Chain A
Amino acid sequence: MERERFLAAVAANVTAGVLPAPPPITTGPPSLPDVDLIETFCTRLGVIGGHAHRCAIGEAVRQILDLLGEHAATAVLAWDDLPVPRLASLLQESGVELLASSMPADRGERAAHLGGYLGLAAGLTGADAGLAESGSVVLSHGPGRPRLASLAPEVHIALLPASRIVRSLAHFLAADPVVVARTANLVVITGPSRTADIEQRLTIGVHGPRHIHVVVLDDA
């Protein structure tokens, strides 16, 4: 159908219907009580089955290697853009294999490339923000920041500088609404992939990672 015809049908009805007047409202961040942002973030992430690990930036490599060891992961799909200096080379020196992340444009090559994600053990990403209220991490994707790094592997490790933790999703979006449009894909991740479709019983790890570890970097 033509856009103009479609919109004309909407316009013809938009003033005719019975709609209550919208209540007067405020905009911007909602009023929530002050909390310790880092502590609340870590607690709430734990409640939904994620794991928070606080550490100094200098200890980050050790922490990541420990987590990879815990999950017996030797290969990692990692972002190029990570908030720890020289992280990629330090991991490689420790024997971790870093996987190429860029999807080929060619259809056949693309299929072969995607096949490589089938047994992927771990993904390593940064995070644009942490949300204390819900224990979430916000990831904006773009060059050097593949979407699949936080989705395809069994384990997702996110590196989050503590200074980036804000109160809630509404606070994050109110502070910088345009963040949504600056990337083709922004995701808010709240715990490990889950479902309750079978008898409303909580089951972890449906399509996304079964484990999410957020390394909270002390950058104060």
Chain B
Amino acid sequence: MVSEPRSRVTQRVPTAPVDPKTTPVTFLGRAKLDLGSDKVAAVEDGARRLYRHRAEAVAEYPAMEEMRARARAGRMSALRNLDRLLARFADQVEATGGKVWWAGDAAEANAIVTRIAADAGAGLVAKSKSMVTEETELNHALEAAGIEVVETDLGEFIVQLGNDRPSHLIAPVLHTTRYDVARLFADRLGVAYTDVPEELNDIARTHLRRVFLSADVGVSGVNIGIADTGTVILVTNEGNGRFVTSAPRVHIAMMGMERLVETVDEAAAVLEVLARSGTGQRLSVYTTMLTGPRRPGDPDGPDELHVVILDNGRSRVLGSNVAEVLACIRCGACLNVCPVYRRVGGHSYGSVYGGPVGAVLTPALEGPEQWADLPYASTLCGACREVCPVGIDLPGLLLASRANTALRGGLEPGLRRAVRAYAAVAARPRAWGLALAAAGQTARLLPGKGWIESLPWYGSAWTDSRHLPRPAARSFRQRWKERRSGA
């Protein structure tokens, strides 16, 4: 994201970028913008492909279940001991010559990074792909301070050029076609139009190589921090994570405070499941383990390493009934498998974290008021839990999130009335039987067979965005009774 409005360009980008100011405030509102569009078709296609790659990788690795259990154990125990581990991690980073900064919220984290960059005399910051700096909107802060920042992950570079937003944890431009990218590059980089992915790649390679080699400061996120050694692990396929930590004089790593594991052994377990679950690779191309800045005698690497540790709502989540969501390792597998994500795309979730994990994480981090409807963006089918490499009970957390909203009185009045009415009927067997019989009779009057696609009055609140299964003409209990009496 960039602070400077680039409307002349964005108007020419076919997949209209999301403008936060005009974006609908509800999930349904946002989803309707994209429903059935080319953008969502591209998402569905890409998500299916990633899902298939994951399935193949998991099936061919005999130790998958063992390593999943170990990765899960490592992450859960890290969360249970997070205060102790953070202290140890920070001590170790400093013992190896790094500097640790503590940021309570996004504004503080951005201010810290901006100050370090300014002190380093940075005119240009090269940034590798990172979700946490998307969360804090770091680029806005740097640009406001007059520091140019360039995203160097190919997907994020495309997002930045188009003033767009990422729509997937690991594939930021899943919603974009190569024709979109072709027009964008021709417009913004002054190159001849080409829609051949290899040629587009070469254009970006040439452009970004100069950025890597002339940037004063490199900014990255952190995939895993190891408390025992003070090591920061970065996982990338393109090599941008390596460049921004090798060429510039200063490296700043921003880390969500929950990224830690305690031991190297636990980090190994996470690495063995991360790429397999995300892209279906056995390992991503580059797994970089950074322990402190360049040491005496090292021919290259940054002279300074700064690790900025961010809370921004995480400690509150840690003390809540959805604390488990902090174990997420950001592989994106739950997005790829989710029938809702596939239909609506990442932008519908309205925050940087989409899909099932985002539907839990966003309201937990930012408070449920603004995001009360996100936990309902799920069919609770449970596929996300099945594929999660650290076994997070996402359906359970989605239910807990719904309960949190309901208990705060956050349900909209119509829904509250409907749920009360349902509860009153469902708690009385006679009333329930009568209601079912009535529903069965009524269903006969509705046109068509199979799913009910539209209902009048209050019923339309459901059928506006969903289909309803047709109630059976005779209830299970009726049929059971008939069967027992031999009728």
A interface residues (Cβ-Cβ under 8 A, vs B)? 1-3, 5-7, 9-28, 30-33, 44, 48, 101-103, 105, 107, 110-111, 114-115, 117-118, 131, 133-136, 141-148, 151, 168-170, 173-174, 177-178, 180-181, 183-201, 203, 205-208
Contact = CB atoms under 8 A, between A and B. Distances in A.
A197 B173 contact: yes
B79 interface: yes
Given A101-B299, A184-B96, A107 B249 contact: yes
Interface in B395-416: 400
Given A169-B271, A174-B268, A208 B299 contact: no
Given A32-B62, A142-B295, A177-B264, A188 B90 contact: no
Contacts of B393: 20
B1 interface: no
Interface stretch (B25-33, B237-245, B451-459, B468-476): B237-245
Given A141-B301, A142-B295, A177-B264, A208 B285 contact: yes
Contact of A25 (B69, B240, B257, B289): B69
Contact of A13 (B45, B67, B303, B315): B315
Given A147-B246, A181-B229, A198 B181 contact: yes
A186 B214 CA distance: 24
A196 B87 CA distance: 38
Contacts of A30: 63, 66-67, 70, 272
Contacts of B152: 207
Nearest to A103: B300
Contacts of B87: 3, 7
Contacts of B82: 10, 14
A177 to B, nearest CB: 4
Nearest to A193: B239
A197 B285 contact: no
A200 to B, nearest CB: 5
B293 A184 contact: yes
B281 to A, nearest CB: 7
Contact of A197 (B69, B77, B155, B271): B155
B50 to A, nearest CB: 7
A89 to B, nearest CB: 20
A188 B249 contact: no
B231 interface: yes
Assign chain B's interface to a size class: 35 or more
Nearest to A116: B213
A193 to B, nearest CB: 5
A191 B229 CA distance: 27
A33 B61 CA distance: 10
Contact of A105 (B77, B208, B210, B303): B303
Contacts of B387: none
A134 B282 contact: yes
Contacts of B96: 181, 184
B237 A199 contact: no
Contact of B301 (A21, A27, A173, A185): A185
Interface in B44-64: 45-46, 49-50, 62-63
A190 B197 contact: no
Given A19-B324, A147-B301, A197-B153, 11 more contacts: A9-B311, A10-B318, A133-B282, A143-B299, A151-B239, A170-B272, A180-B264, A181-B231, A188-B289, A197-B154, A207-B152
B10 to A, nearest CB: 19
Interface stretch (B199-207, B342-350, B353-361, B420-428): B199-207
Contacts of A14: 79-83, 318-319
Contacts of B229: 178, 180-181
A17 B79 CA distance: 10
B138 to A, nearest CB: 17
Interface in B174-218: 174, 176-178, 181, 197-198, 200-201, 204-205, 208-210, 212-214
Contacts, number: 305
Nearest to A144: B299
Interface stretch (B102-110, B371-379, B438-446): B102-110
B113 interface: no
Contact of A208 (B81, B171, B228, B239): B239
Chain A interface SS verdict (over half): loop
Contact of B42 (A17, A33, A199): A199
Contacts of B102: 1-3, 5-6
Contact of A3 (B45, B90, B299): B90
Contacts of A186: 288-289, 291
A40 B300 CA distance: 33
A146 B309 CA distance: 29
Nearest to A16: B319
Contacts of A168: 272
Contacts of A143: 297-299
B265 interface: yes
B70 A25 contact: yes
B171 A21 contact: no
A103 B321 CA distance: 50
B173 A136 contact: no
B226 interface: yes
A197 B200 CA distance: 11
B310 to A, nearest CB: 10
Contacts of A10: 82-83, 86, 257, 311, 315, 318
Q: Which of A17, A26, A102, A174 neighbours the largest number of chain B CB atoms within 10 Å of its CB? A: A17
Contacts of B177: 199
B437 interface: no
Nearest to A6: B102
Contacts of B293: 184
Contacts of B285: 189-194, 208
Given A20-B393, A148-B247, A184-B291, A197 B320 contact: no
B72 interface: yes
Contact of B268 (A114, A134, A148, A169): A169
B368 interface: no
B243 A151 contact: yes
A206 B202 CA distance: 7
